[in-house]
A and B are shown apart, each in its own frame.
Chain A
Amino acid sequence: MSLSAPTHGGMPGGILQRLMRTPGLRRLRGSRALLVGLLLLATVVAVALSAGLLYPGDPRDMAGPAGTWPGIDARFSLGTDMLGRDMAAAMAHSAGTSLTVGIAAAALALLVGIAAGVLAGYFGGAVDDVLMRISELFQTMPSLLFTIILVVILGPTTASISFAIGITAWPQIARLVRAEAVRVRRLDYVDAAVTLGMGHGRIVLLHVLPNSLAPVVVAASILVAQAILSDASLSFLGLGDPNGMSWGSMVGAGRPMLRTAWYMTALPGGAIFLTVMGFMLIGNGLNDLLNPRTPVR
């Protein structure tokens, strides 16, 4: 047991150590993006969690006169849509859907990507070749089209949408993790583990995996951002879960009213933008903190 956990570079400890080493100025700059991002995310999460309390009842019920512009009626701070439903209530209830799909899809992509990356990087050879060719295949094909086809075939549910988005997003993670795993494989402590007679399974799980995860931290939040955007596109195209509400489908529904009531499209679209921006800023901020020398991607 004393040999199994290297004290340097492991997940949580490693990040903290790197944080400590970051020069003050860079830390300030990085944390500004991080701070704004966290603030945006915290707001969205708070709204998603308190939607039921703030706006009790079904947000799909008619609440007032149709097509009320924001700021006209105090009861409807963000106005009402063409069916007289409260925009603010609908948007608050949609926040949870976006976050759920975004995080579930990212989690799937991380799981597949990390597994494929570590295996390819550690074993090399034929395993590496096959896994990398598959990841190239996924990077070549138009992923939104593939996602659309999967959702059409499986039927639009929150689960199938998350699956379809996540299964196209893993190659970028696999490539990041693979590069790290290739580096780690050559380090002394892996040699030491081999000498001690440890099996591949233990070496991969205890040594290679934890030490290959650092770049994933930044990528994960960008991944959630991309997944939320894909989900929004799907619901805009009419492929959202018909039982749930989402910002993307609200934009789609508001489209015929663009001429007379553009706030019905502008508001939910703005919510997508702010949420995605939150995750992007967190990713950029973390990148500045963890890799002070590399430019933000």
Chain B
Amino acid sequence: MPTSLRYVFRRLVQALPMAFAIVLLNFLLLKLTPGDLADVIAGESGSATPEFMENLRRLYGLDIPVHLQFLNYIQGILHFDLGYSFRQGMPVGELILERLPATILLSLTAILFALLIGVLLGVVAARSRGSLLDEAISVVSTMGFATPLFWVGLMLIVLFSIELRWLPSAGMVTVGADYRGRWDEWLDIGRHLVLPAVTLSLFFLSIYVRITRSAMLEVYGLDFVRTARAKGLTEARVVIRHVLRNALLPIVTVTGLQLGAIFGGTVVVETVFGWPGLGRLAQEAVFSRDVNLLLGIFLCSSFIVIVVNLAVDLLYAALDPRVEVRQ
């Protein structure tokens, strides 16, 4: 037990400098932005005498040395005070918390979908290695990398919303819908979720196909698989219990590593589908050049990536006892 506790502790200690570096980077970007908070407020209020500006700078602590400003900044972040968005008329922290659940729902659905289909295709490709089917799956997964997500989303809208009229094209719920209970509402959200989730999953699907295929091929040749076969286990059992289970470890790792990319993907996909999450909020911030809000979103999503990767590492250690020994 003490060794695993030490491992947990070490991972935590390793994550802290990363979090600090993200905060520092965020602060530097804020300082790099032309025009400070006083300029923004003066611009919004329409009056800007030099005395007024000076008062503002003193009020917001912009007249003190930069390193002290940085300390104030850290203090703010520790209280989840990420500043105020004058364009949205709300504190940045509140805005982010309001939008976060929609993004989590979308990302998790997309990852699950990608995992399901990607692993399946990867297993099929590995089992039929070198065949035409294997080649076809490989070509399709390359195409998944090469397609701009926003374009896929728009084309799906053309097909499924405009031509076939099967699924809604925008938003998270039907505007003005009259639900007759919880189920009705969930069903409605689910219908709105299909297209954005499928679009977002495409990129990950391609990655999962490749990783599953190569991991499966690696494990196939190992002794314990031959032993399992020699024991007379059915092929399905060998594949699922022995091969796939070992191939899943790299998949877990990659999911953690690609989480930053999924946040990038949500900006584009939520913009296309009008999904009311963090990505859409980022697009609104781009549109109004609201750097403060953008930096808040950047900081929060970076922290989420760090925390999830920490969790993945710990999960990994729990799944694979060898990890601890190797460290």
Task: List, in ascending order, chain B residues with CB within 8 A of A150's CB.
Answer: 29
Interchain CB contact under 8 A, A276 and B298: no
Assess whether B246 is interfacial by the CB under 8 Å rule.
Answer: no
In the complex formed, the residue of A with least CB distance to B210 is A297
Task: List, in ascending order, chain A residues with CB within 8 A of B213's CB.
Answer: 295
A150 to B30 CA separation, bound complex (whole angstroms)? 10
Task: List, in ascending order, chain B residues with CB within 8 A of A277's CB.
Answer: 142-143, 146
Assess whether A16 is interfacial by the CB under 8 Å rule.
Answer: no
What band does the interface of chain A fall in when counting residues whose beta carbon is under 8 Å from B? Answer: 35 or more
Interchain CB contact under 8 A, B147 and A273: yes
Interchain CB contact under 8 A, A142 and B298: yes
Assess whether B150 is interfacial by the CB under 8 Å rule.
Answer: yes
Interchain CB contact under 8 A, B263 and A142: yes
Interchain CB contact under 8 A, B154 and A280: no
Given A136-B18, A142-B263, residue A276 in contact with residue B286 (CB < 8 A): no
Chain B binding surface SS class? helix
Interchain CB contact under 8 A, B151 and A251: yes
Chain B interface residue count, CB cutoff 8 Å, equals 52
Assess whether B312 is interfacial by the CB under 8 Å rule.
Answer: no
Interchain CB contact under 8 A, A152 and B286: yes
Task: List, in ascending order, chain B residues with CB within 8 A of A232's CB.
Answer: 148, 150
A280 to B231 CA separation, bound complex (whole angstroms)? 43
A152 to B34 CA separation, bound complex (whole angstroms)? 10
A148 to B305 CA separation, bound complex (whole angstroms)? 18
The 4 A-B residue pairs with the shortest CB-CB distance, nearest first, are A144-B264, A269-B151, A142-B263, A276-B146
Interface set of B (CB-CB < 8 Å, partner A): 17-18, 21-22, 25, 29, 32-34, 138, 142-143, 145-151, 154-155, 157-158, 162, 210, 213-214, 217, 257, 260-261, 263-265, 267-268, 271, 282-283, 286-287, 289, 291, 294-295, 297-298, 301-302, 305-306, 309
Q: Can you sample 10 A-B contacts with CB below 8 Å?
A: A136-B18, A142-B261, A142-B264, A152-B286, A152-B289, A153-B34, A229-B146, A258-B157, A258-B158, A273-B148
